[in-house]
């Protein structure tokens, strides 16, 4: 039995993680966290998630909740996740982080914290998306430089970062497979008269609309044909279930920085 802490438990993803914990008897919700002054503090996490009373009230003291061998599961904002990870490293806990939008400096600090704690960091917890990362590398290597690469992603209107962490990871996977420096070849949208497309460009376009959970398409186009790989998420539960699968996997791991590729044996 692994004890799970859900941070951001009143949010869209936090609610679904709490709800999905109901179907995982080997994982137990032991704490639910929210920001100070949040309107839901003190309320039962299960009732907020629509699954009935669980006897775990939302609290705002992460230092009290994050204790040795517990597993933090969090989808929130970079600053909050990083502060929690510092507590994870200090306490000897473990963490599964689905937060996106970390800066290079923040990612470097997470790497340092992972020397003292087992941390799993992934821009997308979906099992299918992580299989797609592996397929994209194979596709890019096989198709080579004759094919233009364009990535489009669409999410709900409330998403704060763009491009999505998943789209960025897809671009990184393709760039690595093709031997390109993404920082030099990425083009984030186009406007005006940019001229003909450069052969080594990797285009990334973000759309925000309504309540779309998440859709990503990677297009490889040549003169005469186009090959596309698309993933569509129909429910946030796919990310919640993936995160709980990751929590189960990391519960017994030594310190280190892991990803969903490790969980699935694809690394």
Q: Which residues are catalytic?
A: 155, 159
Q: Is there a contact between 108 and 247 (Cβ–Cβ < 8 Å)? A: no
Query: Distance between alpha carbon 19 and the CA centroid of its chain, in Å?
Result: 18
Q: Is there a contact between 124 and 169 (Cβ–Cβ < 8 Å)? A: yes
The Cα–Cα gap between 214 and 80 comes to: 23
Q: What residues are paired with 169 via a beta bridge?
A: none
Number of Cα atoms under 13 Å in the Cβ half of residue 185: 21
Residues 6+ apart with CB under 8 A from 100: 123, 161, 164, 165, 166
The Cα–Cα gap between 231 and 164 comes to: 13
């Amino acid at each position: 039995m692994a004890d799970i802490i859900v941070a951001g438990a009143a949010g869209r993803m936090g609610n679904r993680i709490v709800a999905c914990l109901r179907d995982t008897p080997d994982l137990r919700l032991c704490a639910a966290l929210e920001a100070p002054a949040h309107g839901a503090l003190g309320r039962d996490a299960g009732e907020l998630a629509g699954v009935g009373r669980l006897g775990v009230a939302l609290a705002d003291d992460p230092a009290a909740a994050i204790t040795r061998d517990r597993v933090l599961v969090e989808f929130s904002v970079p600053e909050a996740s990083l502060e929690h990870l510092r507590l994870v490293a200090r306490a000897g806990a473990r963490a599964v982080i689905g937060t996106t939008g970390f800066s290079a400096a923040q990612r470097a600090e997470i790497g340092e914290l992972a020397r003292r704690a087992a941390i799993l960091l992934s821009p997308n917890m979906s099992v299918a998306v992580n299989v797609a990362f592996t397929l994209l590398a194979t596709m890019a290597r096989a198709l080579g430089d004759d094919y233009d690469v364009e990535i489009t992603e669409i999410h709900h209107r409330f998403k704060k970062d763009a491009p999505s962490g998943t789209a960025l990871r897809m671009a990184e996977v393709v760039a690595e497979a093709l031997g390109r420096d993404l920082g030099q070849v990425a083009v984030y949208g186009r406007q005006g008269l940019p001229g003909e497309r450069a052969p080594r460009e990797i285009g990334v376009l973000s759309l925000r609309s309504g309540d779309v959970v998440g859709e990503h398409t990677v297009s490889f186009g040549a003169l005469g044909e186009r090959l596309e790989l698309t993933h569509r998420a129909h429910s946030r539960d796919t990310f919640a279930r993936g995160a709980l699968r990751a929590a189960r996997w990391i519960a017994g791991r030594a310190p280190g920085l892991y990803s969903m590729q490790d969980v699935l044996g694809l690394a």
